[in-house]
Amino acid sequence: MTQLAPNKYDYLCREVRARTGLVLGPDKAYLVESRLGPLARRSGFAAIEPLVDAMMRGDRAIHTEVCEALATHETFFFRDKTPFDLFRQVIAPALLAARAGRALKIWCAAASSGQEPYSLAMLLDEAGGPAADILATDMSAAVLEKAKAGLYSQFEVQRGLSIQRLIRHFDQAGEAWRIKAHLRQAVRFEQSNLLDDFARLAPMDVIFCRNVLIYFDVETKSKILDRLAAALAPDGYLLLGAAETVIGLSDALRPVEGHRGLYAQAPAGNRAAA
């Protein structure tokens, strides 16, 4: 059970959903305790309840920190491997041939602390540096600052990186590792929320939006997927997490046969009338 009174827990759930789209039910009390306890202590509160009280009094800084703390930022280099194999073996060759030298436009949504976009930058570097414009976005200013710095602990680089890639793409910085400058410069980081309007980003050749839709309700998933489809170039690709799908959620996207987690725009004639 959470330490919060029911009315305050309900308030917290409403505010987090309105700001981030994330759904917190009664079964997520453990998450609230584990994420907000440390934040309360750092902010000078004796417990979680006075932290939420500050939110309710209109403290916008606390409001932002609470919502960001409850968002999930789990990530690591080359996470799940298959999407990166698809990018290297299927997506990049097809799009680079079609673009005739134009830089690929790649968007990593909910990029957290940067391991996903930097993994793509490494792949492109290993392929001889085909031109690409990589945009990484996240709602959290704190994780974006970490991503921009490109500095990772020994534990973080051990998750997903071979020793060969670590030596090639990183410089040791004390007990930590910093990704090389040319790879940091290959990625642009911006603060953005999947609930925001991202029409300005279109057309994107490739969109990675993995392992985040699982935290949204069905209605929010559908809206985000339709907007992701609208942001794709006509021959672009969307990659979702292994536990995510467009089936039953969006008729603007179709699975790419033979490639789990890979989606493209559906033919216009196959889409239901709005």
What's the total number of domains in the chain?
2
Residues 160 and 250 in one domain: yes
Residue that finishes a domain, picked among 70, 91, 123: 70
Alpha-carbon Rg of the chain, whole angstroms?
Answer: 20
Is the pLDDT score of 129 beyond 90?
no
Do the domain assignments include residue 75? no
Q: Which two tokens stand for residue 212?
A: 């985040």
Residue 224 is part of which domain span? 82-270
Domain shared by 182 and 54, yes or no: no
pLDDT (mean) for 156-184:
96
Q: Is the pLDDT of residue 51 over 80?
A: yes
User: What does the pLDDT read at residue 164?
Assistant: 97
Task: Categorise residue 136: left if φ over 0, alpha if ψ from -120 to 50, beta otherwise.
Answer: beta
The residues pairing with 255 across neighbouring beta strands, listed in sequence order, are: 263
Q: What is the distance between the alpha carbons of residues 128 and 245, in angstroms, rounded to a whole number? A: 33
Answer yes or no: is 77 within a domain.
Answer: no
How far is residue 233's CA from residue 46's CA, in Å, rounded to a whole number? 50
**Residues 164 and 52 placed together within one structural domain of the fold:** no
User: For the domain that residue 121 is a member of, what is the CATH number?
Assistant: 3.40.50.150
The pTM for the full model equals: 0.84
DSSP at 199: G
**Can you give the CATH number for the domain in which 66 is found?**
1.10.155
Contact (Cβ atoms closer than 8 angstroms) between residue 196 and residue 123: no
- For helices 60-70 and 6-20, give the axis angle rounded to 10 degrees: 80
Instruction: Mark out the alpha helices in 127-213 (DSSP H runs).
Output: 141-149, 154-158, 163-169, 181-184
Check whether residue 66 and residue 99 sit in a common domain: no
Is 86 in the same domain as 51?
Answer: no
115 and 195 fall within a common domain: yes
Share of the chain above pLDDT 90, in %: 63
pLDDT tens-digit profile of 54-106? 989 988 889 888 888 887 677 999 999 999 999 999 999 999 999 887 899 99
Is residue 1 scored above 60 in pLDDT? Answer: no
Is 53 found in the same domain as 121? no
The lowest-confidence range among 67-76, 106-115, 181-190 is: 67-76
The lowest-confidence range among 63-67, 143-147, 247-251, 269-273 is 269-273
| Average pLDDT across the chain, whole number | 90
Question: Taking the CB of residue 8, how many other CB atoms lie within 10 A of it?
Answer: 17
Q: Do 104 and 133 contact (CB within 8 A), yes or no? A: yes
Average pLDDT over residues 11-17: 88
pLDDT-derived band at 35 (thresholds 50, 70, 90) equals confident
Do 166 and 56 lie in one domain? The reply is no
Specify whether 162 is located in the same domain as 257. Answer: yes
